[in-house]
Amino acid sequence: MNMLIHIGAESPKFQRKGEGSCSIFKIPQSLKKNHQKGYEPEIVSIGPYDHGKEHLQMLEEHKHRYLKLFLGEAKDGVDTNTLGRKILQMETAIRNSYSEKLVVIKPEFLKMMLLDDTFLQVRSHQNDRILTTPWILSTIRSDLLLLENQVPLILLNTLLKESNISKNVNLETLAFKFFNLSVAEKTKSQNFEAEHLLDLIRKNFINGTSQSPEKAPSNSHYDDSRLILSANRLRLQGIKFKASTNVPRRSSREETILDIKLNGNELHI
């Protein structure tokens, strides 16, 4: 991390608001004012919007350990300097991915992106006590599907490629595995051109390629965690549940658990 500290001596604040390329937005205050907690991460901050909040510091401290795990798997002498230079090359594009002006000085920005990226890359580590604790894992999954809690997918792909961990490692496959999704065969070679992790999962569902999760081994840490948010969490976000009425019956072949409709803030099931 020495490089990140050294850079700060020469770097002024970089303030630029995302323009046409922005894809990570702040939730409007009109939605947040009555349901603030429903839109905030509970345990882990990813990206700048919730960075530094006190209730998220527990996992923030562990991110340094995940960085070491990531570098331990990297090849060809890849270190923090190597990854930091890549982030510097992409800094403008990363900042422009956010709809809000990011008043974050360069060394803090580099450190944040490096730690958040490597945390996301090693989040499914089998022997990690934090990530194999069911309630923590399910909460992390929920947090990573919040719109404000994202980093650009191009950053994740770039650093994964730069690390040379494995030519067979695909970010999409890692993401689907982490969220306990069984992906159809055609998805393995499909490029969703997603903007961030939430967008990737969303496009996977929209394209109808996500099937029922395969049954995991009894000792798997995926057993007790879920992708779908709880009804309580959705209610915190202002969602009301309604039973669908006067809906034409579909054939059993067409029925799916995703056959739901959101009308305003009402979820018709």
How do residues 135-185 score in pLDDT, each as one tens digit? Answer: 888 899 899 999 999 999 999 999 999 998 877 777 888 888 888 764 444
Cβ partners under 8 Å of residue 53, min gap 6: 45
Q: Provide the whole-model pTM.
A: 0.70
pLDDT 10s digits, 64-92: 999 998 999 898 899 999 999 999 999 99
Instruction: Please state, rounded to an integer, the average pLDDT across all residues of the chain.
Output: 77
In the chain, where do the E strands start and end? 13-14, 104-105, 182-183, 210-211, 240-242, 261-263, 266-268
Q: Tell me, what's the pLDDT at 159?
A: 93
Burial (CB count within 10 angstroms: exposed 0-12, middle 13-18, buried 19+), residue 226:
middle
The two three-digit tokens of residue 129, written as one number: 């006590």
Q: Tell me, what's the pLDDT at 111?
A: 96
Name 268's bridge partners.
Answer: 242, 261
Q: Print the domain residue range for 29.
A: 2-268
Q: Tell me, what's the pLDDT at 37?
A: 82
Q: Could you tell me which of 145, 136, 118 has the C-alpha nearest to residue 221?
A: 136
What's the structural domain count of the chain?
1
Q: Tell me, what's the pLDDT at 43?
A: 94
Lowest mean pLDDT among 23-27, 63-67, 199-203, 258-262: 258-262
Q: Tell me, what's the pLDDT at 131?
A: 76
Average pLDDT on 100-129 reads 85
